[in-house]
């Protein structure tokens, strides 16, 4: 009887280790794409914000400002655009170019966000899945340290199932139809099919 329960425990542990290894490799394969995506998005967002600042500076430098003294003493003068300001009748060429540059910078940022959205979403989902796996395994490891020292080992599958149900809120992450399992299996099969990089040996 004890041998049967021990065999069941080993099967459960092997299944968990296999899933953990698969999702760990999946996250590792996603990480370079995730880092490239975040770096590109950060660069494009910085360029867009810089174009906004340049546009504001161009607007202010090309405007004619006047100031009027307030009715109450001690209050700073209030600036306002004069009636003869050239921007009132139409934007200057510099302002138009700045506005066009800002629109183009935002378009590039938006295009990159849409292009990288899938990578960012899947990285977050796989990362959360792997983190939950590790938390579950840590809890089960503590349980095994207690149970393996006595006859209570036969209770481990029951305890494991209860912990598993709580951690995953009734969802089975090991189901064949699980979206992350399907994604990682497909991704890893494609990664395995890629040709290995050729290394050039230096004499």
Rounded CA-CA distance 85/76 in Å is 22
pLDDT in the model for residue 91:
52
Could you tell me which residue, 95 or 45, shows the higher pLDDT? Answer: 45
Lowest mean pLDDT of 17-21, 106-110, 151-155, 173-177, name the range. Answer: 151-155
Contact criterion met (CB below 8 Å) for 130 and 31: no
pLDDT in the model for residue 10:
40
Could you tell me which residue, 142 or 54, shows the higher pLDDT? Answer: 142
Quickly count: other Cβ atoms within 10 Å of residue 167's Cβ: 15
pLDDT in the model for residue 56:
59
Please write the tens of the pLDDT for every residue from 68-97.
444 444 434 444 444 444 444 445 666 678
Q: Checking phi first, is residue 7 left (phi over 0); if not, alpha (psi -120 to 50) or beta?
A: alpha
pTM of the model: 0.69
Q: How confident is the model at residue 110 (pLDDT cuts 50, 70, 90)?
A: very high
pLDDT in the model for residue 94:
65
Q: How confident is the model at residue 196 (pLDDT cuts 50, 70, 90)?
A: low
Q: How confident is the model at residue 153 (pLDDT cuts 50, 70, 90)?
A: confident
Contact criterion met (CB below 8 Å) for 105 and 48: yes
Give how far Cα 94 sits from Cα of 59, 108, 128, 168, Å. Answer: 9, 21, 48, 58
Q: Judge residue 141's burial from the number of C-beta atoms within 10 Å of its C-beta, 0-12 exposed, 13-18 middle, 19 or more buried.
A: exposed
pLDDT in the model for residue 57:
52
């Amino acid at each position: 009887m004890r041998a049967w329960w021990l065999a069941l425990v080993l099967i459960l542990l092997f299944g968990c280790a296999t899933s953990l290894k698969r999702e760990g490799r999946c996250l590792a394969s996603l990480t370079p794409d995730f880092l490239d995506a975040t770096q590109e998005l950060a660069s494009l967002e910085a360029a867009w914000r810089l174009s906004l600042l340049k546009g504001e500076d161009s607007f202010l430098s090309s405007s004619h400002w006047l100031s009027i003294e307030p009715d109450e003493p001690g209050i700073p003068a209030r600036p306002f655009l004069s009636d003869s300001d050239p921007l009132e009748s139409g934007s200057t060429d510099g302002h138009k170019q700045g506005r066009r540059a800002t629109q183009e910078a935002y378009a590039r940022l938006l295009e990159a966000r849409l292009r990288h959205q899938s990578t960012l979403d899947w990285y977050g989902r796989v990362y959360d899945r792997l983190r939950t796996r590790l938390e579950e395994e840590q809890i089960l490891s503590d349980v095994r340290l207690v149970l393996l020292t006595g006859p209570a080992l036969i209770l481990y599958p029951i305890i494991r199932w209860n912990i598993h149900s709580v951690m995953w809120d009734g969802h089975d992450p090991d189901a064949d139809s699980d979206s992350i399992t399907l994604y990682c299996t497909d991704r890893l099969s494609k990664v395995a099919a890629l040709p290995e990089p050729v290394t050039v040996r230096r004499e």
